[in-house]
Amino acid sequence: MEKPIGVDTVVVEELRTLRDSYGLQLAVVAPWLHSTLTERLDGLVRSGSLGHLRRIDVRQHKPRLHRSLHTPSHPTAFDVELPHSVGVVLRLAGAARVTGATCTDARVGDTVVPRMGSAAVTLDHGSGVTSRITTDLASPLRERRIDLVFDAGTAVGHYPVGSDDLYAHLRVTPIGLPEQYEIFPDAALDACILRAYRGFRQGADLHPEFTLQAQVVEALEQAKRHAAGRTAERSSAHVLGR
């Protein structure tokens, strides 16, 4: 199944019922969760070599104006890139609740595509970590960057931005120690598909993956409600100001 697995939690529960009723095995095409970079970041968190994880910042910017203007395929900017990164931060830092979110329109001249410009979301994890994810679908540049701040250092990763150069970059900087910089192959989509079919063949338990993806949908749903509330507040303030 394509990510996210549903537009809201109601759809996710319908899928869960179908899965359980018919004994289905559902795998989600979520490449970032199978990325070599994500695995290395997860290893850093679990090893404790840089101390406790405190903050995660993700930037997902891509030029997408032509598609947004001519081929409507997503309801909001939250539905394009964030399903990748929300899954990653939930994997790295655990369950979370949305504490803030914003969304803007895409604008070119007099043409406006509602809620398809930029989006941002802040999550507070039960582990004490704060995550901040931003995406700009009107950006002139591509960027898929993730920053992890630990008690004793930082890690900065760059996911591949396209299929023409499937290499990731990781820079780890422990406090008081030399920086470590690596570039390595990261064909995350291939890894995702291979793992799915191997899981089907071996009868692997895919329920944990479904649970994580359900949490992604729930977080995105919360973010959309937060952003809609902020927009309504700004509109009310504008009317009162006039």
Q: What is the pLDDT of residues 42-56, one digit of tens each?
A: 999 999 999 999 999
Per-residue confidence (pLDDT) for residue 42, from 0 to 100: 98
| Range 32-191+219-241 classified under CATH 3.40.50.300 | no
What does the mean pLDDT of the chain come to?
92
Q: What is the dihedral of CA 78, 82, 83, 84, to 10 degrees?
A: 160
| Distance of alpha carbon 235 from alpha carbon 170, whole angstroms | 42
| Distance of alpha carbon 143 from alpha carbon 70, whole angstroms | 23
Structural tokens at position 108: 């070119």
pTM: 0.91
Per-residue confidence (pLDDT) for residue 64, from 0 to 100: 84
Residue 180, CA distances (Å) to 20, 49, 153, 156, 187 in order? 46, 13, 11, 10, 22
What pLDDT digit, counting tens, does each position of 174-188 carry? Answer: 999 999 999 999 999
The average pLDDT across 181-203 equals 96
Structural tokens at position 193: 């598909």
Residue count (the chain): 242
**Beta carbons within 10 angstroms of residue 161's beta carbon:** 15
Structural tokens at position 82: 């964030």
Per-residue confidence (pLDDT) for residue 238, from 0 to 100: 47
